[in-house]
Chains A and B, each alone.
Chain A
């Protein structure tokens, strides 16, 4: 198994262990085993279809991230003894996801503009005479800023490319701000991944519920 797939599988397992930790043993074990099965089936079906391991890992990661709000709400309602038929309907999930979208896009766009401006400043402005590496740092920050903005811009149409652009931008920023490495890559990918995929699926969840007379 590739490192990317192992990491995606590990993240899915860790997240499931986290949000099910306080649930009754039977419910907890069922959800954990179902997710383990799903991830295994996903990996093997996609690899058998000829998909690249990294693309499969990104897909698994995005499925985890996109479902986080639903997972947490399901956990809360199960703890309160309401089970999956909770009155916390899809509308609450949509509201939480919209907040995630807004926060993710706003933070990423802000960082993009900041690094673009800061890169220009230290590369060609006030910091330009403070050392021979400053112009290089400036260019790197400008490229990183552009990648973040490009990721936000193309997110709704090309989610995979957007996540890749933002990930490369985050790595580029870490060249000039090494201490950010441990934070910016997972956080940016997670937030923007959730944001762009929720945008794509928002219309699906907002569709009018159909009446099923036979169930009432």
Chain B
């Protein structure tokens, strides 16, 4: 099924939401497991950590759409910390705008219509 251009799936919205929350805390970049933790902690929909398949597919879609950018971290840091290297993601300006536009649309759609006043 073809996806309508310019739409964000709930998981994509959750990722952008979590990434922007991390940015407000001073963390401009995040890695896959880090964002899974943040989504689990902050999303009303999420119940537990997002599966690997769903998470990395969504990150890939967001990057392809230009809403995220990514890079491998400096390998010497990973060696020093004795762990595998992290792929670091950051929200782009387009990603931030898309997130706010999507949120505004969601809010507008969920605002109940004002009851019509009947003439007395």
Which residues in A have some Cβ–Cβ distance to B below 8 Å? 12, 16, 30-31, 33-38, 40-42, 44-45, 59, 62-71, 73-74, 83-85, 87-93, 197, 200-201, 203-205, 207-216
Chain B residues, CB < 8 A from A38: 31-33, 36, 52, 55
Asked whether, in the complex, the Cβ of A210 is within 8 Å of the Cβ of B13, the reply is yes
Chain B residues, CB < 8 A from A68: 53
Asked whether, in the complex, the Cβ of B8 is within 8 Å of the Cβ of A74, the reply is no
Interface residues on chain B, number (Cβ under 8 Å): 57
With A42-B33, A71-B53 in contact, do A211 and B87 touch (Cβ < 8 Å)? no
- Considering the complex, give the chain B residue whose CB is closest to the CB of A37: B84
**How many A-B contacts at CB < 8 Å in the complex?**
166
Point out the residue from A30, A34, A87, A212 that lies within 8 Å of B101, measured CB to CB: A212
Point out the residue from B2, B5, B54, B86 that lies within 8 Å of A67, measured CB to CB: B54
B interface secondary structure, majority: helix
A interface secondary structure, majority: helix
Which residues in B have some Cβ–Cβ distance to A below 8 Å? 1-11, 13, 31-34, 36-37, 43, 45-61, 63-67, 83-87, 94, 97-103, 105-106, 109
Point out the residue from B6, B11, B83 that lies within 8 Å of A213, measured CB to CB: B6
Given A213-B6, A215-B67, 12 more A-B residue pairs with CB atoms under 8 Å apart are A37-B83, A38-B33, A41-B83, A59-B48, A64-B52, A67-B52, A89-B2, A201-B47, A210-B8, A210-B10, A210-B13, A212-B99
With A211-B101, A213-B6 in contact, do A84 and B32 touch (Cβ < 8 Å)? no
